[in-house]
Amino acid sequence: MYHAGLYMGNGIVPTAVAFLFVAAVLTAAALILVKDSRRKHRRRRRRKRPAQRPDVRRQRRRAGHRAAAGRHAADSQRKEKTGRPQDRHVTDSQRKEKPCGPQGRQVTDTEKKAETEVTEEVQNVETPKKEEDRTEIEVRHVTMEFKREKDESTSIKELLIRTLKRQRSYEMFRVLDDVSFTVGKGEVVGIIGTNGSGKSTILKIISGALEPTKGEVLTDKNKIQLLTLGTGFDFELTGRENVYLNGAIIGYTKEYIDEKYEDIVKFAELEGFMEEKVRNYSSGMVSRLGFAIATVRDTPEILILDEVLSVGDMFFRQKSEKRIREMMHGGSTVLIVSHSTSVIRNNCTKAVWIEKGHLRAVGDPAEVCGAYEKMNQGG
């Protein structure tokens, strides 16, 4: 009794009772709102319910019968007047007796022979062979839109109440607007643009990670390797474990990773750090490890690099650019996203400029980068 009086004196029991009372009130209010919203929804459905659809098949059948009866009556009247029905067909014997040309005259044997010779000449003409299609990636009128809420809820309670009252509203945000370009086999294409222009979005669409709202991308997604900062990494695992995890995501076998493990560590310059957790790595170390894993193959067919060459120290950038040049000579197709125009000029054979979701220019890297720099200087 002493302890019970102590708890009541401290206010613990009244507080618990008040909390249970508030929870009961909120639960009852939520149930009332749910019932009210369901009742309103049923009323709206009754108002919008369309009228019963007529039997369309029966109407069509009756119309067909009426049309057939009308044609039969017309043939009967014509037969009564002329004594014979309308001649709608010509027999095969009549065609053989009177072979006629386009003007209604009889076709001679000479004309038949000339026509046969012309037909044979047309058939003997050889069709020109199409050149081998070297297009590796074709982006056709790609448009990407995301749905975002206009006024986001600040708490779970507010989110629940607005959902029950159907007061949540959304707006469509267009990231890419009718973007089209092609990438040939063996080309190194650089994509430039200011922040928020949709560069990373177009790379994810090409790799198959995102599905466009409109348009299409024609490519073999099994050949693509997408490399972005931290993609496929578990920051709670060690560097060694992430090598096998990221390699499995890319498509490497365990035997292949065992064979190339030392080369990966040596290229990433992470000797002595492979047993550390990746969460302790810097962004440059993560990018070096990811780049080494993605490019360990001799000649990957399609490699997509998202802001990889712009990080790390000067020596690693030189090594990565050298590896990119080696892949260029090996026939790989490379897509690079970078804010550095010098990287695009020195490594790319084509440049694509996307600005605020719109395609501004496609062509020679020097000309496109010059226009991009001029726009930034003017802004």
Whether the pLDDT of residue 86 is over 60: the answer is no
Higher pLDDT, 243 or 311: 243
Half-sphere exposure of 291 (CA within 13 A, CB side): 29
Burial 337-360 (b: 16+ CB within 10 A, else e): bbebbebbbebbebbbbbbebebb
Read off the pLDDT band of 127 (50, 70, 90): very low
Q: Considering Cα of 193, then 196, then 197, then 198, what sign does the dihedral take?
A: positive
Q: Which of 277, 272, 347, 279 is nearest to 308 (CA)?
A: 347
The reported pLDDT for the residue numbered 3 is 46
pLDDT, average across residues 288-298: 81
Residue pLDDT, tens place only, 349-366: 899 999 988 999 999 999
Per-residue pLDDT of 251-268, as tens digits, reads 788 999 999 999 999 988
**Which pLDDT value is given to residue 128?**
42
1: its two tokens? 């009794």
Q: By mean pLDDT, which of 40-54, 137-151, 178-192, 324-338 is the weakest?
A: 40-54
List helix spans (H) across 126-175: 156-164
Whether residue 206 contacts residue 137, with contact meaning beta carbons closer than 8 Å, is answered with: yes
Measure the CA angle with vertex 369, ends 367 and 374; round to 5°.
Answer: 95
Task: Give the dihedral of Cα atoms 317, 320, 321, 325; nearest 10 deg.
Answer: 170
Look at the block and give the residue holding tokens 């959902």.
163
Q: Give the pLDDT mean for 264-279.
A: 90
Got the DSSP string for 270-307?
-TT-TTSBGGGS-HHHHHHHHHHHHT-SSS-SEEEEES
Q: Would you identify the CATH topology of the domain 135-234+297-378?
A: Rossmann fold (3.40.50)
Task: Look at residue 204 in the predicted model and tell me its pLDDT.
Answer: 87
Q: What angle do CA 104, 108, 111 make, to 5 degrees?
A: 100
Q: 227 or 55, which is more confident?
A: 227
Name which residue leads in pLDDT, 336 or 36: 336
The mean predicted confidence, pLDDT, of the chain is 76
Lowest mean pLDDT of 26-35, 46-55, 260-269, 340-349, name the range. 46-55
pLDDT tens digit sequence for 232-251: 788 889 999 999 998 888 77
User: Is there a contact between 118 and 190 (Cβ–Cβ < 8 Å)?
Assistant: no
pLDDT-above-70 percentage for the chain: 73
Residue 170's pLDDT is what? 76
pLDDT computed for residue 89 by the predictor? 47
Residue 51 DSSP label: P
* Strand boundaries in the chain, DSSP class E: 135-149, 170-184, 188-192, 214-218, 224-228, 302-306, 333-337, 350-355, 358-363
Least confident of 146-155, 224-233, 360-369: 224-233
Q: At what angle are helices 314-329 and 283-294 packed, to 10 degrees? A: 20
247-277 as b/e, with b when 16 or more CB fall inside 10 Å?
beebebeeeebeebbeebbebbbbeebbeee
Tell me what pLDDT residue 344 has: 87
**How do 188-192 and 333-337 pair as beta strands?**
parallel
Helix (H) or strand (E) holding 344: helix 341-347
Q: What pLDDT score does 27 carry? A: 86
Q: Domain limits of the chain?
A: 135-234+297-378
Residues 58-76 have a mean pLDDT of: 72
Q: How far is CA 142 from the centre of its chain?
A: 8
Q: Is 141 helix (H, G, I), strand (E, B) or coil?
A: strand
Tell me the pLDDT band of 180, cut-offs 50, 70 and 90: very high
The whole-number average pLDDT for the span 317-333 is 77
CB 299 within 8 A of CB 326: no
Residue 98: pLDDT band (50, 70, 90) is: very low
Q: Over 60: is that where the pLDDT of 305 sits?
A: yes
2 contact partners, CB below 8 Å, separation of at least 6: none
Answer yes or no: are the C-beta atoms of 226 and 204 closer than 8 Å: yes
Radius of gyration of the chain (CA): 37
Dist CA 101 CA 321 (whole Å): 73
Checking if the pLDDT of 100 tops 70, the result is: no
